[in-house]
Chains A and B, each alone.
Chain A
Amino acid sequence: MEYSFDWGTLARGWPYLAQGMAMTLFLVAVAMVAGILLGTLLAIARVFGPKPVQVATAGYVNLFRSVPLILTIFWFYFLLPPVLRMATGDPNLTVGGIYSAIAAFTLAESAYYCEIMRAGIGSVRNGQMHAALALGLTRWSALRYVVLPQAFRNMTPSLINQTVALLKDTSLVYVISLNDFLGAATRLAQRDGRLVEMYLFVAAVYLGLCSLGVWLVNFLQKRRTQAGVRSFS
């Protein structure tokens, strides 16, 4: 028996799919920016902070890396509102799926970004910090102007890889009924009974986006090996 393809669903449903894609990209953008910022602060705390802060940060990172992401999303969706209601005393307070998702992704991703930035800080020679301090820069300025820019540059490929993983992970928000790209596609497909076509299309789009990330990583690595080898004799 032959399956007859019908791509009409796609042609008619694209505005709805575009809305889903907008949600996906929005989640990726917010979680990436906030995650990298928070992750970098955590990495600084983990490398340079006093011992108790280092231990606390390590605990945070291990916690969010050990818990399945889907569970983190559930926590923020189901547990956070009652907790906040108790804390604020406002019985009508709601959080909303999108804010819970942003919170969950930001915190979970920050743990991964923290480890990447920690490796990045470690990749910058100790002498760079010494040289910056010797010029009279404070430790914070030395980090900001000398160590972090180099750490960030060294780790760009890993940061992009992590963001590609984040892009795929955002599809998990279907569990809290957010209308992301995969969710929108699923709804259309089920309405029209065209699961095969829709999931092929969705796979192609994710493949395209991720390939873009991989291409960017390769491009940056090539440029680094061309330009950066001679920085130290």
Chain B
Amino acid sequence: MIEVRNVSKWYGDFQVLKDCSATVSKGEVVVVCGPSGSGKSTLIKTINALESFHQGEILVDGTSVGAAGTDLPQLRSRVGMVFQHFELFPHLSVMQNLTLAQRRVLRRSEEEAAQKAELLLLRVGLLSHCDKYPGQLSGGQQQRVAIARALCMDPVVMLFDEPTSALDPEMVGEVLDVMTSLAQDGMTMMCVTHEMGFARKVGDRVVFMDAGVVVDDLPVEQFFEGRAKSGRASAFLSQVAH
């Protein structure tokens, strides 16, 4: 579904991504972790071209992301993305947040878009909040709305960029529950997260990054059994898993 091949990226002289490769097969949940500043967020944002890259190739469902003629809006409409800071549109109601792209990008009718939105709000348990504005919701609720908004587009893969790291601790669970149920329904997912409990429970593979390099790419069991090649991964694990 996603193939990242030897991707490199520079900010001026500083190389943020060094020859990174990773794959996410259909139905797989891949967790990307590593210390902050290791390039995880940058890597995940190259996949839907929110960040450019200078070398290598990225294929999403057979489409080359970096190629000149790629219809990026079309590609992005099939790749759901959830951000650290939710990024709901504060001037639009929850319902409008969910229908905007359905109407403008997928050209769905107002009725069809609203039906889809209601279905997904029900799924994340927030249907009763559909007329509220993002500012009236808690962080956890906002993030669940953001997940529903991405799902409205019927994505073939979902990208999560540290979806719980801006949340108060008591709200992390509700967001992880939604993500877990998504994974159990067979959604293809790539998650940048420090939630190792989530990784262990629903993850298939763990990609460990450090200083712009993909250091390890292992099945979840092996990663948690401490079979990571580098000492850095185990040092990271001992810091994160209290």
Interface residues of A (CB under 8 A from B): 125, 127-128, 130-138, 141, 145-146, 149-150, 153, 227-233
Q: Assess whether B91 is in contact with A150, with CB atoms less than 8 Å apart.
A: yes
Interface residues of B (CB under 8 A from A): 45, 48, 50, 72-74, 76-81, 83, 85-91, 100-101, 104-106, 133-136, 138-139, 142, 149-150, 153, 166
A135-B150 contact given A128-B87, A141-B104, CB 8 Å threshold: yes
Given contacts A127-B85, A146-B89, 17 further A-B contacts (CB under 8 A): A130-B45, A130-B50, A131-B81, A131-B83, A131-B87, A132-B101, A134-B48, A134-B81, A134-B150, A135-B149, A137-B104, A138-B73, A141-B105, A146-B100, A150-B90, A231-B135, A233-B86
Docked pose: A137 CA to B136 CA in angstroms = 25
Choose one: A127, A134, A136, A149; the contact of B74 (CB below 8 Å).
A136
Choose one: A130, A133, A134, A231; the contact of B90 (CB below 8 Å).
A231
Docked pose: A60 CA to B232 CA in angstroms = 55
Docked pose: A138 CA to B86 CA in angstroms = 20
A134-B50 contact given A228-B135, A231-B135, CB 8 Å threshold: yes
Q: Assess whether A230 is in contact with B101, with CB atoms less than 8 Å apart.
A: no
Chain B residues within an 8 Å CB radius of A131: 81, 83, 87-89
Choose one: A130, A134, A141, A227; the contact of B135 (CB below 8 Å).
A227
Most chain B CB neighbours (cut-off 10 Å) among A128, A131, A153:
A131
Chain B residues within an 8 Å CB radius of A125: 85, 87
Chain B residues within an 8 Å CB radius of A136: 73-74, 76-78, 101, 105-106, 153
With CB as the reference atom, state the residue of chain A lying closest to B146. Answer: A131
Can you pick out 28 interface pairs between chain A and chain B where the beta carbons lie within 8 Å of each other? A125-B87, A127-B85, A127-B87, A128-B89, A130-B83, A130-B87, A131-B81, A131-B88, A132-B101, A134-B48, A134-B76, A135-B76, A135-B101, A135-B105, A136-B76, A136-B77, A136-B78, A136-B101, A136-B106, A136-B153, A137-B104, A138-B73, A146-B100, A150-B89, A230-B135, A232-B90, A233-B139, A233-B142
A135-B77 contact given A229-B135, A231-B90, A233-B166, CB 8 Å threshold: yes
A145-B100 contact given A228-B90, A231-B135, CB 8 Å threshold: yes
